Amino acid sequence: MDTKQHIFKDKQAVAEAFAQYLAEQIAYSESYSIALSGGSTPKILFDHLAKEYKTLIDWSKVKLFWGDERCVPPNDEQSNYRMTKEHLLDYIDIPMSNIFRVRGEDDPNLEKERYAQVLEREISASNNIPQFDLIILGMGEDGHTASIFPHQMELLEDSNWTAVAQHPESEQKRITLTGPIINNAKKICFLATGASKAEKIDAIFKGSSDSQNYPATHINPTNGELHWWIDEAAAGEIVI
């Protein structure tokens, strides 16, 4: 697996380094499509971007999408859109027309179809699949990524670009991107921090047989780059 590992002292340092990387990627591009993730590390990243990159990034070039969303209204505490709004969108100058949220309040089966059409319309395709410039992903303690959980491994190969997924414990419905569109991205960046991620990360990097059961293991871009941005706690035993 040709993975680029970026290891930093703690989650704040991961967020700061990644923000700088992101700003450079955007600066070199005429337009830049990003699928965002929920989770604790993106929250810190958004705070840092809001504070330090408000004017350093030309946000009018950026189109924002979501890799997954909980099926709740946009003002719900669980909404990934709400988190992004409160930590980033409220502070930066980005046209509303560049923000493509998943409508978590709508019927999930209709919304997944609508969102797939939005992706087809807004993002140019490669291999007949919309190709994001960048997809930011997290990894849960069970090895899930986006909202592809271990009990729904079939979503890694779903020929539709979006699917309705379900959280294994709460049974909350989610809309998620599927494996084929994630793996078609130009760049995929995992942001994962904290000691609770170390065991899974070690297994994924070593390619252990257990790791085959973790959705995150199967994120391998067809033609793009795979990056893991992690802190020392998540890196665990990995030799730097």
Query: Could you say which of 33, 80, 84, 217 contacts ligand 6PG (CB under 6 A)?
Result: 80
Taking CB under 6 A as the binding criterion, the range among 85-93, 104-112, 142-150, 229-237 that sits at the site for ligand 6PG is 142-150
| Phi, psi of 33, rounded to the nearest 5 degrees | -100, 130
Q: Identify which of residues 130 and 215 has a Cβ nearer to ligand 6PG in the complex.
A: 215
Query: Could you say which of 104, 108, 130, 140 contacts ligand 6PG (CB under 6 A)?
Result: 140
Query: Per CB under 6 A, does 231 bind ligand 6PG?
Result: no
Q: How many residues bind ligand 6PG (CB under 6 A)?
A: 13
Q: Identify which of residues 16 and 58 has a Cβ nearer to ligand 6PG in the complex.
A: 16
The residue number whose beta carbon is nearest to ligand 6PG equals: 138
Contact of 41 with 138, CB cutoff 8 Å:
yes
Residue 10 in tokens: 């703690």
Dihedral (CA of 239, 44, 115, 175) sign: positive
In the range 30-49, which residues lie near ligand 6PG by CB under 6 A? 37-41
Taking CB under 6 A as the binding criterion, the range among 50-58, 112-120, 132-140, 222-230 that sits at the site for ligand 6PG is 132-140
Query: Per CB under 6 A, does 138 bind ligand 6PG?
Result: yes
Output the smallest distance, CB 60 to ligand 6PG, in A. Answer: 26
CA dist., res. 26 & res. 173, Å (int):
33
Residue whose token pair is 């989610």? 174
Output the smallest distance, CB 138 to ligand 6PG, in A. Answer: 2
Query: Per CB under 6 A, does 79 bind ligand 6PG?
Result: no
Q: Identify which of residues 138 and 179 has a Cβ nearer to ligand 6PG in the complex.
A: 138
Strand intervals (E) in the chain: 3-8, 32-36, 62-66, 68-70, 125-126, 129-130, 134-137, 162-166, 173-177, 187-192, 225-231
**Amino acid at site 37:** S
| Phi, psi of 181, rounded to the nearest 5 degrees | -75, -35
- C-alpha distances (whole Å) from 96 to each of 158, 168, 225 are 30, 33, 29
Q: Identify which of residues 123 and 234 has a Cβ nearer to ligand 6PG in the complex.
A: 234
In the range 82-121, which residues lie near ligand 6PG by CB under 6 A? none
Q: Residue 183, exposed/middle/buried by CB under 10 A (0-12, 13-18, 19+)?
A: buried
Residue whose token pair is 């969303």? 69
The length of the chain, given as a count of residues: 240
Query: Could you say which of 79, 131, 145, 211 contacts ligand 6PG (CB under 6 A)?
Result: 145
Output the smallest distance, CB 203 to ligand 6PG, in A. Answer: 16
Please give the residue ranges that form the binding site for ligand 6PG (CB under 6 A). 37-41, 68, 80, 138-140, 144-146
